Amino acid sequence: MTLQPVPLLCLPYAGAGASVFWKWRQLAPLGLRLAPLQLPGREERTNEEPFRSVADAVHALLPDAVAAAAGHRRVAVFGHSMGAVLAFELARALEERTEIPVAHVYVSGSPGPYHGRAENTVDLDDDTFLAAVEQFAGHRHPAFEFPEFRELLLPMLRADVAMHESYRPLSDAPIQAPVSCLRGDQDTLVSADDAAQWCKVTTGRFTYIERPGGHMYLLDTPAELLRLIAADLHPDAPAEALAGPAQGASSSRETPCD
């Protein structure tokens, strides 16, 4: 059976760049084509000013998303934490401004977009800011332990956090693409109830999925996560065509929206 690969546009969490997903390319099963999208202010784009607005970021990302989808019949989008709201709004932009079918949107490690964020950490001093980000993100990049990298990366991280804390949905209208919300079953930062509120953003099918692990579960078992997504995008494909079924004790359910 020949599978037509679906580009999976990948958006990272705050403070990270596209390199988070580079090694995923080697793990991707048949049926997936990994397409990490890079925001300015990080990695090879450190000389560019980072965005502090989701609307501005999505506007800039859209041409890259269209280029990644070129030659394919459909596209899917994945984002974790801050990346989840970028993935959602990028999917909306693809639906509204292009003719590219959005096959599925995968939002991970994030409360629903109408939940809002109560934190206000952007103006804290550097040490307090980094401690606060580590507490609500569940992750601290090791580069921040080195003064030269810390000075380079802090403006980008502050911009990301400002973008996430100030985010409000860009429209009240739901998207049409089906949405799956993924969450680590031991995540103490995003509750199951808050994550399940993503059901309100789509007129399509909504599925809530729990994976083993905490808030950063995706870093522990990326191969299994990618096999799960590939099987979801190609439901009629035999398991061997997707290089094996997803492993781990995933649980999923289609959930009515309260």
Res 34: pLDDT = 95
CB of 254 closer than 8 Å to CB of 207: yes
φ/ψ of residue 108, rounded to 5: -130, 140
Residues in the chain: 258
Res 246: pLDDT = 43
| Among 117, 95, 110, CA closest to 203 | 95
The span from the CA of 35 to the CA of 16, in Å, is 15
CB of 27 closer than 8 Å to CB of 170: no
Res 145: pLDDT = 67
The span from the CA of 204 to the CA of 254, in Å, is 11
Res 247: pLDDT = 45
The span from the CA of 202 to the CA of 225, in Å, is 22
Res 136: pLDDT = 62
Res 166: pLDDT = 86
pTM (two decimals): 0.88
Residue numbers of the chain with a pLDDT score lower than 50: 244-249
CB of 87 closer than 8 Å to CB of 36: no
The highest-level CATH class for domain 6-254 is: alpha beta
The span from the CA of 50 to the CA of 230, in Å, is 32
CB of 246 closer than 8 Å to CB of 209: no
Q: Residue 89: is it exposed, middle or buried by C-beta count within 10 angstroms (0-12/13-18/19+)?
A: buried
